[in-house]
Every structure is written in structure tokens, then in C-alpha cells.
Amino acid sequence: MKTLLKSVKKWLPAVVVTAGTGVLLYFFPSAQPPFKTTVVEYTLELITVLPAVMVLMGILTVFVSNEFIGRVLGHSSGVKGMVVAFALGTLPTGPLYVAFPFARVLQTKGARTANIVIFLSAWAAIKLPQELVELRFLGWRFMVVRLVLTVVVVLLMAAVIDRALRFHDTIPLE
């Protein structure tokens, strides 16, 4: 029975989203053509991007030890771990969904939740190439103010999520 409940919990979000999409497309048939186009485009993008991501995840899993990740990004890494998480998130280019498998590997290898949040947030909002384009088109003042505010919000969010999940882990589930 527990296994069935676990499976239902695992797949329930996907089922709800799929059913909701079906209902919306039924009531808004004019949205069907752009929906189908978008699904095809993203599927093709995933097919081309994910194999490389899987290879990189395999390399990370096999060649980077849990001890190293724990030391550099783990609970005792402190400010150094946050700086490394920011750096790891700002360097790559590509869609955010590519970062989630990497974040999962970091999580299983002992990275602190706050550092995973920082990594994902930096990937989403503080990419180095993005900053250079922002500087070129919006100017240095805009770039600096947005960057500083983004870093502050990311650090606050990371601290809150880290604390909330630590608190959640201390509550018995049964």
C-alpha cells in the first residue's frame, strides 16, 4: 500500500497538469495550434540538449567525490560554498531546466540546500553573458543595481529555504 501511495504522490502533479491542460485546450480550441507548435519545439530542444546533460551528469557523478562536494558546497562550506555556488551558476549558458539534473546530483552528493538554491538562482538570473548584454544595452548603473538586488534576494531566499527544509526534516512524517 505504501508503494502505491508513493507512486501516486510521485505522478500526481504530472497527471493534474496534463488533465488541466486537456481541459483548457478543450475550452480554448484556438490555443491548440500554438500549443502543439510549442510542444514540438521544446521536445526537439530536449532531445538535442538532454543527452549532453546526461553525459555531464555521469561524469560529475563518477569523477567528483561526495567528500569534495561536501567540503566545497556542504553544510560547513560557509561563505566559500556560497561563492562557489554563485560561480557555478553564472558560468553556463542554456535553459534553466538543464540546471535541475545538476542540482540533483549536487544534492545527492551532500551539497547544502542553500547552495543549491544559490546555484539555481544564479543560473536563472545572473549569467555572466547576460550581464554583459545588460551592461551594453542598459548601462552600468542599471546592471549593478539589479545585480546587487538579485544577489541580496537570492541569499535571503536561500537562507529561508535552507532553514525551512531543515525544520521540515526534523518533523516526524508519521
Do both 43 and 91 map to the same domain? no
Contact indicator for 73, 112 with CB cutoff of 8 Å:
yes
pLDDT tens-digit profile, the chain (174 residues): 678 777 778 888 989 999 999 999 999 999 999 999 999 998 998 888 888 888 888 888 888 888 898 899 998 899 999 999 999 999 887 788 889 999 999 999 999 999 999 999 999 999 888 899 999 999 999 999 999 999 999 999 999 999 998 865 554 544
SS percent in the chain: helix, strand, coil, step 5? 85, 0, 15
Rounded to whole angstroms, the Cα distance separating 160 from 121 reads: 14
Rounded to whole angstroms, the Cα distance separating 82 from 75 reads: 11
Do both 6 and 78 map to the same domain? no
Rounded to whole angstroms, the Cα distance separating 59 from 1 reads: 37
Q: How many domains does the chain have?
A: 2
This prediction's pTM: 0.77
Do both 73 and 155 map to the same domain? yes
Do both 52 and 90 map to the same domain? no
Do both 68 and 3 map to the same domain? no
What is the span of the domain harbouring residue 20? 1-63
Do both 58 and 135 map to the same domain? no
Do both 69 and 129 map to the same domain? yes
Do both 56 and 124 map to the same domain? no
